[in-house]
């Protein structure tokens, strides 16, 4: 399972479903394996922790410079660092986005802390960012210096990118021997009508005027990186460069390889091993909608599970069907169809409904009847 955002973590969803499955088994005992998952967005670190990675805490600056604490997942070889809990929208006060004042500095500080542990691989989970700074804040935390026209150090944010006159990369900390993996399913370039500012800026509170300023700043960043000897302009056109406010772009400049977030995390958390011997796979997320059909986690799980039967359990189903046979999903069970209350903001209600649903699923199998919502 993926998380039910705003209600339950992926681990909690799996736990309560498992409770219901066990309660409904009767004389036919059920063995339930739980595998909380993520797709490179928020919850990626927690999914790694649930799979046995150890938590590492480090102080960072939040998206607008406030002191914060970040958690890194580390298993002695691989470290997982996520955008959502280092420079994410969820870290800002409700209703107070900061499209121009925010930066990705905290993400870079978390990466730096992970590097101190000597990992062979660092997974960059690029989802949920609050900023559109092209990853300049991350680069600054890793030793790159940004200077204004007077030669003074400049703190890069979305709103100050246009003021960068020169970039000094001499202080970049060594990354030799570290496999940087950027987990991301966004294909947008950095610039243009399909770029980071135009497409995702408004979702982060940017006005049309802010979008124009951000676009100009990102273009200036690319030019200054060219002047510093990096492939700034060429990399800006790459698919995925516009992910996480341009963090995908900065990650590419550092040599990171882009991977599908959902598939990569299924491999990292050993999904195929968990699948062995299973009679049924239950997957799901908080809301299933048209975006799910573009290849989000439940569809990837279903594809990887075939020929084992798959059902989906979701908080709300916004699709006009209760099954996706063409995607190997036999049924879609939605908590919203079981109550008149809003379970998305009520963790206790969500837990109770999941337990009830788990029992219904097992009862339907025991009775050898089709699995119906």
Residue 366: predicted pLDDT: 62
For residue 9, give the nearest of 31, 37, 33, 32 by alpha carbon: 37
Check residue 370 and give its pLDDT: 45
**Dist CA 295 CA 186 (whole Å):** 11
Mean pLDDT of 96-112: 98
Instruction: Name the nearest CA neighbour of 143 among 114, 179, 167.
Output: 167
Mean pLDDT of 123-134: 96
Q: Does 25 score more than 70 pLDDT? A: no
Residues near 42 by Cβ (< 8 Å), separated by ≥ 6? 3, 5, 82, 84, 85, 88, 90, 127, 128
Indicate the SS3 state at residue 26.
coil
* pLDDT given for residue 369 in this prediction: 46
| pTM for the predicted model, two decimal places | 0.90
- What mean pLDDT do residues 3-12 have? 92
Element (H, E) at 20: helix 10-23
Inform me whether the pLDDT recorded for 248 exceeds 70.
yes
Pairing outcome for strands 281-283 and 310-314: parallel
Q: In this predicted structure, which of 16-25, 260-269, 347-356 has the lowest mean pLDDT?
A: 16-25
**pLDDT tens-digit series, residues 262-291:** 999 999 999 999 999 999 999 999 999 998
* pLDDT score at 26: 66
Helix, strand, or coil here: 70? strand
Q: Which domains does the chain have, with CATH numbers?
A: 10-36+273-366 (3.40.50.10350), 44-261 (3.90.1510.10)
Q: Please tell me the distance from the alpha carbon of residue 250 to that of residue 208, in angstroms, as a whole number.
A: 24
**In which element (H, E) is residue 79 found?**
strand 78-82
Residue (of 65, 186, 81) closest to 130 by Cα position: 65
pLDDT at 6: 84
- Tokens matching residue 77: 């070889």
Confidence of residue 181 (pLDDT cuts 50, 70, 90): very high
Phi, psi of 158 (to 5 degrees): -55, -35
Residue 153, strand partner residues: 147
The residue behind tokens 């993400």 is 107
Q: How many C-alpha atoms does 68 have within 13 Å on its Cβ side? A: 22
The per-residue pLDDT for 364 is 80
Question: So what's the pLDDT on residue 54?
Answer: 98
Q: How high is the pLDDT of residue 175?
A: 95
Please state, rounded to an integer, the average pLDDT across all residues of the chain.
94
Given a cut of 50, whether residue 373 has pLDDT beyond it is no
Predicted pLDDT at 294: 81
pLDDT of 240 strictly over 50: yes
């Amino acid at each position: 399972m993926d998380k039910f955002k705003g209600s339950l973590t992926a681990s909690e969803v799996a736990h309560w479903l498992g409770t219901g499955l066990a309660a409904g088994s009767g004389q036919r005992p059920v063995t339930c394996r739980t595998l909380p998952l993520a797709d490179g967005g928020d919850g990626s670190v927690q999914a790694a922790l649930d799979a046995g990675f150890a938590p590492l805490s480090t102080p960072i600056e939040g998206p607008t410079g406030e002191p914060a604490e970040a958690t890194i997942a580390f298993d002695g070889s691989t470290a997982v660092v996520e955008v959502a809990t280092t420079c994410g929208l969820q870290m800002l006060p409700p209703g107070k986005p900061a499209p121009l004042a925010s930066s990705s500095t905290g993400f870079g500080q978390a990466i730096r802390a992970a590097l101190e542990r000597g990992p062979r691989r660092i997974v960059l989970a690029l989802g949920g960012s609050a900023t559109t700074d092209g990853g300049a804040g991350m680069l600054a935390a890793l030793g790159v210096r940004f200077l204004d026209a007077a030669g003074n150090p400049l703190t890069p944010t979305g709103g100050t990118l246009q003021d960068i006159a020169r970039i000094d990369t001499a202080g970049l900390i060594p990354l030799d021997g570290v496999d940087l993996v950027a987990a991301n399913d966004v294909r947008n370039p950095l610039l243009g009508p399909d770029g980071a500012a135009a497409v995702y800026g408004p979702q982060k509170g940017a006005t049309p005027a802010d979008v124009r300023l951000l676009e100009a700043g990102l273009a200036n960043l690319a030019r200054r990186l060219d002047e510093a000897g990096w492939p700034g302009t060429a990399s800006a056109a790459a698919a995925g460069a516009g992910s996480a406010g341009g963090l995908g772009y900065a990650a590419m400049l550092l040599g990171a390889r882009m991977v599908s977030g959902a598939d990569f995390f299924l491999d990292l958390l050993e999904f195929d091993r968990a699948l062995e011997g299973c009679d049924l796979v239950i997957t799901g997320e908080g809301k299933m909608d048209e975006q799910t059909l573009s290849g989000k986690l439940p569809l990837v799980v279903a594809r990887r599970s075939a020929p084992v039967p798959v059902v989906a359990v979701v908080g709300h189903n916004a699709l006009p069907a209760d099954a996706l046979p063409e995607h190997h999903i036999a049924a879609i069970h939605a908590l919203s169809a079981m109550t008149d209350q809003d379970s998305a903001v009520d963790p206790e209600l969500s837990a109770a409904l999941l337990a009830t649903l788990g029992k219904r699923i097992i009862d339907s199998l025991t009775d050898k009847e089709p699995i119906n919502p």
